[in-house]
């Protein structure tokens, strides 16, 4: 445990870090000491896997030093870094809230890092007893949900934009140089790339703003083929 076997300076540092967080900042000195005593400080060298996708990991943790990256792995063996958290940030395994729930993503140490971890059974009574503590954790969870929504929207936009870029390139390669008639409606284009007409409209306007294409109600011209090709190469299949 944190309090045992550590010098006064180290303990004071842990208590100060806890007091700085939005969740634990409302606790009094005795409660902070009790919380610290129930935690375990672990060190992870750079590149170490803290937890793998699919693991049952019932922990809440506070980053005392370094950075933790959230990695999503695909069945094909590809990985994508979704986001990262640094000193003072709090995160958790899904099983901390839902018993036996597997991790939806992996956590990796980005640089040497230190984590103060709490096992679910050790701190659950504190959260059940302290309504303000539970409220602050709920607010943080909502912030994380909002962050996840932004990440998903970004990934969906990138994938859809890449598929539309590929479709435009296919049309432009079949036509002579110059403006190309818009022979597909927004709905038809959406059906071809697995999106919606609203998203297709957003993609087209974004492409135009970026100087990739020039577009009117009846035709379009590719003005930056390489830019479209780079965008199209970001997606597979």
Nearest CA-CA partner of 79 in 106, 60, 41, 97: 106
Whether 172 is in a domain gets the answer yes
Identify the CATH number of the domain in which residue 81 sits. Answer: 2.60.120.10
Asked if 187 contacts 177 with a C-beta cutoff of 8 angstroms, the reply is no
Give the model confidence (pLDDT) of 3-12 as tens digits. 555 556 667 8
Nearest CA-CA partner of 169 in 217, 236, 235, 225: 225
174, pLDDT greater than 60: no
Whether 149 is in a domain gets the answer no
pLDDT at res. 177: 60
Give the model confidence (pLDDT) of 154-165 as tens digits. 666 678 888 889
140, pLDDT greater than 70: yes
Specify whether 111 is located in the same domain as 177: no
> What value does the mean pLDDT take over residues 74-95?
84
Give the model confidence (pLDDT) of 181-191 as tens digits. 788 888 888 88
Give the model confidence (pLDDT) of 27-59 as tens digits. 999 999 999 999 999 999 999 999 999 999 999
> What value does the mean pLDDT take over residues 119-124?
96
Sequence-distant (≥ 6) Cβ neighbours of residue 50 within 8 angstroms: 44, 68, 106, 107, 108, 109, 115
Please state, as a whole number, how many other Cβ atoms lie within 10 Å of the Cβ of residue 188. 11
Give the model confidence (pLDDT) of 98-116 as tens digits. 999 999 999 999 889 999 9
pLDDT at res. 114: 95
The Cα 60–Cα 65 span in angstroms is 16
**Owning domain of residue 105:** 8-129
Please tell me the total count of domains within the chain: 2
Specify whether 125 is located in the same domain as 28: yes
Domain-terminating residue out of 75, 95, 129: 129
Whether 200 is in a domain gets the answer yes
Average pLDDT, the chain: 86
Specify whether 117 is located in the same domain as 12: yes
Whether 148 is in a domain gets the answer no
pLDDT at res. 195: 80
Identify the CATH number of the domain in which residue 172 sits. Answer: 1.10.10.10
């Amino acid at each position: 445990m944190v309090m045992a076997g550590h010098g006064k300076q180290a303990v004071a540092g842990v208590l100060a870090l806890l007091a700085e967080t939005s969740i634990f900042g409302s606790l009094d000195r005795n409660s902070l000491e009790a919380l610290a005593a129930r935690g375990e400080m672990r060190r992870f060298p750079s590149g170490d896997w803290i937890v793998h996708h699919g693991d049952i990991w019932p922990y809440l943790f506070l980053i005392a030093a370094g950075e933790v990256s959230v990695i999503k792995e695909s069945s094909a063996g590809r990985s994508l870094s979704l986001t990262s958290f640094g000193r003072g940030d709090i995160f958790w395994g899904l099983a901390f809230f839902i018993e036996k729930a597997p991790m939806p993503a992996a956590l990796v140490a980005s640089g040497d890092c230190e984590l103060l971890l709490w096992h679910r059974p050790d701190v659950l009574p504190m959260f059940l007893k302290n309504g303000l503590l539970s409220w602050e954790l709920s607010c943080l969870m909502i912030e994380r949900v909002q962050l996840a929504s932004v990440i998903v929207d970004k990934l969906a936009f990138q994938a859809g934009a890449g598929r539309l870029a590929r479709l435009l390139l296919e049309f432009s390669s079949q036509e002579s140089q110059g403006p190309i008639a818009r022979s597909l409606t927004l709905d038809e284009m959406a059906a071809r790339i697995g999106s919606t007409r609203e998203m297709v409209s957003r993609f087209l306007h974004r492409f135009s703003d970026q100087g990739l294409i020039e577009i009117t109600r009846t035709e379009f011209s590719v003005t930056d083929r390489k830019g479209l090709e780079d965008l199209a190469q970001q997606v597979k299949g």
